[in-house]
Chain A
Amino acid sequence: MVGIIDIINVGLFAAALRMATPIAYASLGGIFSERVGVMNIGLEGMMLLSAFTGVAVTYYTANPWLGVLGAVLVGGLMGFFHALLTVKFSGDQVVSGAGINLFAMGFTAYMSQVLWGSRGASESVSGLKPISIPILKDLPVIGPILGTHTPLVYIMLLTVVLSYILLFRTPLGLRIRAVGEHPTAADTAGIDVHRVKYICVTLSGMFAGLGGAFMSLGHLSLFTYGMTGGRGFIAMAAMIFGKWMPVGAFGASLLFGFSDALQMRLQSLGLLPPQIILTIPYVLTVAVLSGVVGRAKAPSDYKPYEKG
């Protein structure tokens, strides 16, 4: 994992923000999906497919931004597919999501073999270049942490704020919240429940797509097999920990990102066997889900809505 360990002292926090980025994207995706009553355990697979797509598109076009676009489109497509199965055909949300995850594992490995002759990893591509924010980067402490990142980190911060505004300050947000909590009420108020669900679950996939693109283009500049490493599931934990609120989920993502960053530093110290250290983020996830949160109440009941 070359290039992960930064040279700066406050690098740990910069790394935490970086590691939190894909989790935050995916947890925002989770929020939009669950807020309309569709559980999305396919976030992991959507991220993986998007990570792959990002690298593949960049490989052929040499433009990482086209890669990001491709990743978002594929994420959105998978989201739409998930919505189609669960909203239109009232399919089981867990089965559909798990199916997407399995498909993503197999498909990316196969395509990786076809394109680059290796199931394990792609060739390197030119990823997104970090940018520095003037003035901000020169501030003490904050500068090294926030000043220089790939644009997708900043876009993530913006997305958190925009998601909050969308959910709580716009008519669509009001409808989204109504649809998830009481679809019949929304329907009788003249809202097209299924349309809102389609929009949100597709959006959910697009967010996961951004998370995937960040992992392969903003972080590593190549695709490796199973590179999302369960971050889609950790994102679901972050979503629950954050009580289905964008800012809360972002905070929880930072916590998980921090534990991830810490884990890497601890490995380099060699104090504990790396296998144990590697488990830290996952143990934290289990701990958070099993009690620290208390009884988190989902904003919806995850049932397909059928009229009459």
Chain B
Amino acid sequence: MVSAVVMRGVTKTFPGVVANDHVDFSAETGEIHGLLGENGAGKTVLMSILYGLYRFDEGAIIIDGEEVEVDSPSTAMRLGIGMVHQHFMLVPSLTVAENIILGREPIKNGVFLDTERMLRDVGEFCDKYRLDVDLEAPVHTLSVGVQQRVEILKALYRGADVLILDEPTAVLTPQEVDELFKAIRALREEGKTVIFISHKLREVLAICDRVTVLKKGRVVGTVDASETDQGRLAEMMVGREVVYTFDKDYCEAGEPVLVVEGLEALDDRNLQALRGVELEVCASEILGIAGVEGNGQTELIETLMGLRKPTAGKILLNDSEITTLPPGERIRAGISHVPEDRHKRGIVSDFSVMENLILGSHRNTEFTQWGQVLDLAKASSYSDKLIEDYSIDTPSKKTLARNLSGGNQQRLVVAREFSREPKLIIAAQPTRGLDVGATEYVRRKLLEMRDQGCAVLLLSADLDEIWAISDRIAVIYEGRIVATRDPKETSEQELGLLMAGGRDD
């Protein structure tokens, strides 16, 4: 039998980086093939080459036994290859149906868009794959899970026999993941080939027939999912053994550090985002907040940091009210913040590593002379120390932050925030986009800070992360904390249900 896709000796270099180094990859017709690797291992690049977004430097692509030239996504589509990207390729203001037919629109009377035929064709198509969506809803009104379904439909509508899914579960709730997996299995029944890109071992094992592991642009090996386990895959992926369960010591929680009472706030569109949040985070405790993105997490962080005005409620730090303090004073009062979007709020990309490290403390007397002029010598030795302590991998402290890898940028943020001796750390998506090594590092640091008596408020879309290090788990849904659980006494199913708005009975 001929393989659906064969990639032979594919090499792709970007300035300074070899993204793919003589990669051999093949997927059979009707199989779900996992492509596993850390961030930066070259998974997405390899599949972007197959989909015609990049051109390889050398190598060959063979589809159904014939060597082909894939120079653009439209060629890929003609060859029956479809891709669902990590960042959805949907136009927010267009409707579901319009997004699906975009680029191959049905025409009537020579010039007009044939809306009726569009709705009929797409409708029939949805029925065929039993994927249910409202075709006339604008895409921006849909939940992430539904948008993903639209993406899959879009690829299938364009005649995809090979469907590439790039980190499809990253943004989904556990229930949505289950549904996605059902849909993927249904596609396999239809004889489609699915390539499933992921760095989550558990998922790859749950859904895939075979798994190819990439590391630093090279293929480590291809294995049958039934003949391997998480430990062995992790070793292939990272090249050493990885600690999955943190043996975190029990740590006696102290006095409440952060107390939030009846906090309400509006979002950017002036809609109610927080509807009376009640929270308490104690010293030596990590409180994890689980929730599907967009349930008020961003607004909660901003309100706690003083970046957004609350419309009601109180925020207390060590018994003194900080509800109306500006961000600078909150930092001085002992709050550190690892922002969810490190490019927007965590670092100034065009500042050097050193400048980024003293940002926020730049007015402190330790870095200034006569209170106004920066003392570069002191800033410099301080930076050297942090670069060393937090093992930030940078050519020098004068390197611009934008030139660091994502993991090192995050180390930089962590170094700056944790070295201020904070009483409270607000960590939002602290390991988003980081590879296994850097993720492990950041989580360890958070535990270390906890052990030193710090209160930690952890917000993450990654339930595994919340699970791994939290001492208590609170679930946020539609701007309210709907439940608080001890991680030892709850289950993933229960949390998933709460995150999706299921009642707490």
CB atoms of A171 and B91 under 8 A apart: no
Chain B minimum-CB-distance residue to A178: B91
The A contact surface, by secondary structure, is: helix
Contact A307–B53 (Cβ < 8 Å): yes
Q: Is A186 an interface residue (CB 8 A)?
A: yes
B-contact 0/1 string along A143-181, CB 8 Å cutoff: 000000000000000000000010001110111011001
Instruction: Find the A residue at minimum CB distance from B101.
Output: A174
Contacts of B99 in A (CB 8 A): 185
Partner of A308, one of B54, B91, B105: B54
Bound Cα distance A67, B89 (Å) = 45
A184/B89 contact (C-beta < 8 A), A173-B113, A190-B74 known: yes
Most chain B CB inside 10 Å of its own CB: which residue of A170, A173, A178? A178
* Nearest chain B residue, comparing its CB with the CB of A299: B93
How distant is the Cα of A134 from the Cα of B48 in the complex, in angstroms? 62
In the complex, are the beta carbons of B107 and A186 less than 8 A apart? no
Known A-B contacts A188-B83, A190-B74, A308-B54; the reply to A181 vs B92 at CB < 8 A is yes
A185 to B85 CA separation, bound complex (whole angstroms)? 10
Known contacts A182-B90, A184-B89, A174 near B102 by CB under 8 Å: yes
Asked if A188 contacts B73 (CB within 8 A), the reply is yes
Q: How far is the CA of A147 from the CA of B354 in the complex (A)?
A: 72
Query: B91, A185: Cβ atoms under 8 Å?
Result: yes
Q: Mark B79-116, 1 if CB is under 8 A from A, else 0.
A: 00001010011111110001100111101000111000
Which of A174, A175, A177, A185 touches B90 (beta carbons < 8 Å)? A185
Those of A165-214 within 8 Å (CB) of chain B: 165, 169-171, 173-175, 177-178, 181-182, 184-191
**Inter-chain contact B89/A185, CB cutoff 8 Å:** yes
The reply to whether the CB of B77 lies closer than 8 angstroms to some CB of chain A is yes
A308 to B111, CA, bound (A): 32
User: Would A181 and B91 count as touching, CB distance under 8 A?
Assistant: yes
Q: Quick one: which of B77, B88, B113 contacts A171, CB cutoff 8 A?
A: B113
Chain B residues with a Cβ under 8 A of chain A: 48, 51, 53-54, 72-74, 77, 83, 85, 88-94, 98-99, 102-105, 107, 111-113, 154, 158
The 13 listed contacts between A and B (C-beta, < 8 Å) are A165-B112, A170-B113, A171-B107, A174-B94, A181-B93, A184-B89, A185-B91, A185-B102, A188-B83, A188-B85, A189-B103, A190-B73, A308-B54
Would you list the 9 A-B pairs with minimal beta carbon distance, nearest first?
A190-B74, A189-B103, A171-B105, A185-B89, A190-B103, A182-B91, A189-B102, A178-B91, A188-B89
13 extra interchain contacts, Cβ-Cβ under 8 A, other than A185-B89, A188-B51? A165-B112, A171-B107, A175-B103, A181-B92, A181-B93, A185-B90, A186-B102, A188-B73, A190-B73, A190-B74, A190-B77, A191-B102, A308-B48
